[in-house]
Amino acid sequence: MMLSRIADAMFWIGRYVERADQTARILDVKLQSITEDTPEDFAEACRDVYQIFGVEQTDESDHSVQRVLDRLLTDRANPSSVAGALFTARENARGVREVLSTEVWESLNTTTLGLPRGVRPSRMHGAFQFAKDRCAVVNGLVDASMTRDEAWLFLRIGQLLERVDMLARNLQDHDLEDSSSAATVTLLRSCSAHEAYIRSYRGRVRSARSIEFLLLDSIFPRSAVHCLGEIDEALETLAKLHGNSFDRLGAAEPARRIVGRALASLRFRSLDDIVENFDEEMEQLQMVTGAVTRALGTTYFHPAH
Amino acid sequence: MRMVGMSASPLFHSARTGSGGDEMFAPDGTVHPTYQALHDALSGLGTEEFRSRSDSLARSYLDQGITFDYAGEERPFPIDAIPRVVAAEEWTRVSAGVGQRVRALERFLDDLYNDQAAIADGVIPAELVTSSTYVVDAMRGYSPPNGVRIHISGIDLVRDGAGDFRVLEDNVRTPSGVSYVLSNRRAMAQGFPELFADRPVRRVGEYPGRLLSALQAAAPDTAGEETTVVVLTPGRYNSAYFEHSLLARTMGVDLVEASDLVERGERIYMRTTAGLRRVDVIYKRTDDDFLDPEVFRPDSALGVPGLVRAILAGNVVVANAIGNGIGDDKLTYTYVPDLIRYYLSEEPILPNVDTWRLEEPDSLAEVLDRLDELVVKPVDGSGGKGIVIGPAASRKELEALRERLIADPRGWIAQPVVQLSTIPTLVEEGPEPRHVDLRPFALNSGDDVWVLPGGLTRVALPRGEMIVNSSRGGGSKDTWVLAPERDAAAGPAAQAQAQAQEDEGIEDPMDDSYDEFEDPREEQAEERAPEPDPVTSAIPIIDVEETPHDAQ
């Protein structure tokens, strides 16, 4: 039992920290690859990067690595940039300090104090590394210092939902036709899955198997199926905390139905079936995030009195 | 003389000015005994080490988010690393004087909202009440369940020319600053642990536990159910938000905004993820005006409609009580010594600063005549707002002030310029004397008024500045109340004192539990229930049969 407003804020702290982390990971890999390879169609490559983060409108002046950094790394006013997401997470945390552990608050606060206002392409890797390290510190402290109460569950659900969402965006951007190992490695690295994949399958990376790994692997902590499974568990614990312990169907709550369907749909279909209409599938996976957020809103954040 | 000072103590060489009114240095340059140990320990650090550790204090405040809101920007609250030291005997007097004042003001407020005997008996004029904008008509006839209206107070003190504490003003609505008392102590204990080795400093960490007890004691009858206490904040953009959050966190209660609360059937509930949950005590940190639009500002979207009805129905208690503003009206202040004599039949322990009431024609004439040498304050101001210091004001400002005083004499009081005491404070050039005041905090649980041994020492950082508020560039110092000497000569009095000090916590930065704000110890003692019979001892951890018999 906690204040609805605070539950809402915890959920968004989870989402924004994860968004900053994922954005930094994806940009780190994509921008490095653009800088190294200088693709023929440079503008197209930049547009692709913007697209992952939902930035549709770009003009010519935006098509440089520096501009991508300005808009998606250091822009504090844009909650979808690395800095903006961390600032938003910190603002949310400031409103709920009494439920966060002091360590978690301080790590978020010092993170925003340390964020650079501008980064040159030559220094971008260091800036991404800083953001990723700081997110790891925050997540580690959340893990090690917070009781597994409702507040933690909301934060955790937010984090996992955002992770699935970013994965779906990243996959949607991936060109399935390009089965070269370079493109596949880039995809795996931007999902922080390259090493895990190699350890699991050894040898050369294969395009189809990589997609399968990212979407369906049951024990890789960043795969869609793994995250959805964790969300379902967290939602179940939440329901129990609220005294709905005997839910025979396990589907009494709208959020659990949405998550469960997405999970079943991915897990019990063949990969061929999923990639048949891949763009659409990934679009739907992103819609899960919005639907779950709304469902949590009706059940917990703004319940009707 | 400066040479001597430098060779003896380079750190403090520009703090020995030879002027009177400094708490560390006498005019002849010697160190006051109370400060001797601290002075020696700081001097031993050396200027460079001292400055670098001071810088890390500021840095840690920024990292921890110990900030106040200044013009929409979060600033670290400046903490000065040279503590203030108050001797044990002097604190005994301060503590008694503050407690006395709170008890008198409690009686006054209760009287005012009920019988108004003090007016009938001619102790205070009826106009004091009828002309005040702070009397809340809706609260007439209301008496809180345990009789307490001033659960939390902060009484501002300054030292006069003779070095004695006087009361500058009372704060019985929403006194702030106690979070800095707690944070300053923690920061000092972390940054300068060795300073605490020399003298026994009394602990401040039990404040949150005491506060929670006082708030719980104020609760309406909950028919045996657990009392729910919340802290009500205007939100994270309020200048004292850090404090609201710290108090909620250290008490372990919810920090709510008005929109989290709702009235149903003359009870107050908060909106939780499991629906509505009843609230019994609200520690409000908002102005009365924004509490309940049904009573105060119908145009306001802020507040909890129906809150006052719930209070009057006796189903919820708000602390401090609504309508306390008349208690710290600066005109009321001038009558407090009389109120102490009237209600308590005692002589005031802590005197007021001499004050002219401008509504008295003779006083007004005298003040207008001497405007350039007096301090003039609005009766309803706080945070140093509206204060005009005669000697520092321009001719134009004084002219404007003169007109305002003539137009609204009830709205102002005047005082002589009090030469606040100084304490060496680190500025750009090193420690220099800066003016300070002191705000001790008191909690009234109904049975007892407890005064936190410490309090907020605010320091005016610009040279010569007399207004210490953070909104005017003020900082703060950790305030050390020394425990009485342990090795006092034997005798009945000394033994009684030794007994008393058993109850006083001594600060120990090396204590493992230091980071927690502890509960008051007597409460812990109370809660220690008798151990149940040790049934588990009948079940051995290791089955005897399975233990190896190597020894044989």
Q: Which is it for the CA torsion B206, B211, B214, B216, positive or negative?
A: negative
- Residues A98-153 pLDDT 10s: 889 889 999 999 999 999 999 999 899 999 999 999 999 999 999 999 999 999 99
Residue B245 sits at the chain A interface (C-beta within 8 Å): yes
ipTM over 0.85: no
Q: Answer for the pair A85, A16: CB distance below 8 angstroms, yes or no.
A: yes
Chain A residues in contact with B270 (beta carbon < 8 A)? 3
Residue among A26, A33, A32 at smallest CA distance from A80: A26
Q: Answer for the pair B84, B456: CB distance below 8 angstroms, yes or no.
A: no
CB atoms under 10 Å from CB of B327, counted, come to 27
Q: Answer for the pair A151, A6: CB distance below 8 angstroms, yes or no.
A: yes
Question: Which three-class secondary structure state does DSSP give residue B261?
Answer: strand
pLDDT at B488: 47
Partner-chain residue, chosen from B64, B257, B262, that has the shortest CB–CB distance to A106: B64
Residue B283 backbone phi and psi in degrees, to 5: -85, 100
Which residues lie across from A262 on neighbouring strands?
none
Report the range of poorest mean pLDDT among A73-87, B363-377, B466-480. B466-480
A:B CB pairs within 8 Å: 67
Residue A95 sits at the chain B interface (C-beta within 8 Å): yes
Residue B63 sits at the chain A interface (C-beta within 8 Å): yes
Judge residue B402's burial from the number of C-beta atoms within 10 Å of its C-beta, 0-12 exposed, 13-18 middle, 19 or more buried.
middle
Binned at pLDDT 50, 70 and 90, residue B96 comes out as: very high
| pLDDT at residue B343 greater than cutoff 60 | yes
- B273/A95 touch (CB, cutoff 8 Å), yes or no: no
Residue A137 sits at the chain B interface (C-beta within 8 Å): no
Residue B134 CA to residue B115 CA, distance in Å, equals 18
Residue B241 CA to residue B382 CA, distance in Å, equals 17
Q: Which residue has the tokens 């405007």?
A: B371
Q: Which of B273, B282, B516 to mutate to test the interface with A (most CBs of A within 10 A)?
A: B273
Percentage above 90 pLDDT, chain A:
66
Residue B96 CA to residue B93 CA, distance in Å, equals 5
Mean pLDDT of chain A: 91
- Residues B227-244 pLDDT 10s: 999 999 998 888 888 899
Partner-chain residue, chosen from B236, B254, B257, that has the shortest CB–CB distance to A94: B236
Chain A residues in contact with B276 (beta carbon < 8 A)? 305
Residue among A105, A80, A103, A102 at smallest CA distance from A92: A105
Q: Answer for the pair B230, B279: CB distance below 8 angstroms, yes or no.
A: yes
- A106/B63 touch (CB, cutoff 8 Å), yes or no: yes
pLDDT at B290: 87
Q: Which range has the top average pLDDT, B13-17, B64-68, B151-155, B193-197? A: B151-155
pLDDT at B3: 40
Residues 6+ apart with CB under 8 A from B444: B102, B106, B148, B150, B151, B152, B153, B214, B450
Chain B residues in contact with A5 (beta carbon < 8 A)? 257, 259-260, 271
Partner-chain residue, chosen from B62, B246, B260, that has the shortest CB–CB distance to A3: B260
- A2/B62 touch (CB, cutoff 8 Å), yes or no: no
CA-nearest residue to A102 within chain B is B64
- Strand B152-159, strand B165-171: pairing: antiparallel
Mean pLDDT of chain B: 85
Helix or strand run (H / E) with residue B168: strand B165-171
Residue A251 CA to residue B78 CA, distance in Å, equals 54
Q: Answer for the pair B172, B189: CB distance below 8 angstroms, yes or no.
A: no
pLDDT at B310: 96
Q: For chain B, first and last CA: distance in Å?
A: 83
pLDDT at B523: 47
| pLDDT at residue B205 greater than cutoff 50 | yes
- Residues A51-69 pLDDT 10s: 999 888 888 899 999 999 9
Which residues lie across from B152 on neighbouring strands?
B443
Q: Nearest CA to CA, how far is A168 from chain B (Å)?
A: 30
Q: Answer for the pair A223, A215: CB distance below 8 angstroms, yes or no.
A: yes
| pLDDT at residue B115 greater than cutoff 80 | yes
Residue A149 CA to residue A234 CA, distance in Å, equals 11
- B63/A110 touch (CB, cutoff 8 Å), yes or no: yes
Chain A residues in contact with B246 (beta carbon < 8 A)? 97
Chain A residues in contact with B260 (beta carbon < 8 A)? 3-5
Peptide bond into B320 cis (omega under 30): yes
- B262/A105 touch (CB, cutoff 8 Å), yes or no: no
pLDDT at B378: 86
Residue A222 backbone phi and psi in degrees, to 5: -110, 5
| pLDDT at residue B501 greater than cutoff 60 | no
Tokens of A43: 């503008």
Q: Answer for the pair A92, A9: CB distance below 8 angstroms, yes or no.
A: yes
- Residues B66-77 pLDDT 10s: 877 777 777 788
Angle between helices A181-190 and A207-216 (to 10 degrees): 20
| pLDDT at residue B534 greater than cutoff 70 | no
| pLDDT at residue B464 greater than cutoff 70 | yes
Question: Which three-class secondary structure state does DSSP give residue A171?
Answer: helix
- B245/A98 touch (CB, cutoff 8 Å), yes or no: yes
Q: Could you tell me where the DSSP H helices lie in chain A? A: 4-37, 42-52, 65-69, 82-94, 102-114, 124-145, 150-173, 181-190, 194-201, 207-216, 224-241, 254-267, 271-276, 278-296
Partner-chain residue, chosen from A98, A102, A301, that has the shortest CB–CB distance to B255: A98
Q: Nearest CA to CA, how far is B360 from chain A (Å)?
A: 48
Q: Which is it for the CA torsion B323, B328, B334, B339, positive or negative?
A: positive
Tokens of B112: 């005012």
Rounded mean pLDDT of B440-444? 97
Instruction: Determine the residue type at A221.
Output: P
Chain B residues in contact with A150 (beta carbon < 8 A)? 273
- B249/A106 touch (CB, cutoff 8 Å), yes or no: no
- Residues B294-320 pLDDT 10s: 888 877 777 999 999 999 999 999 999
Binned at pLDDT 50, 70 and 90, residue B7 comes out as: very low
Residue A245 CA to residue A239 CA, distance in Å, equals 7
pLDDT at A246: 63
Which residues lie across from B272 on neighbouring strands?
A3, B275
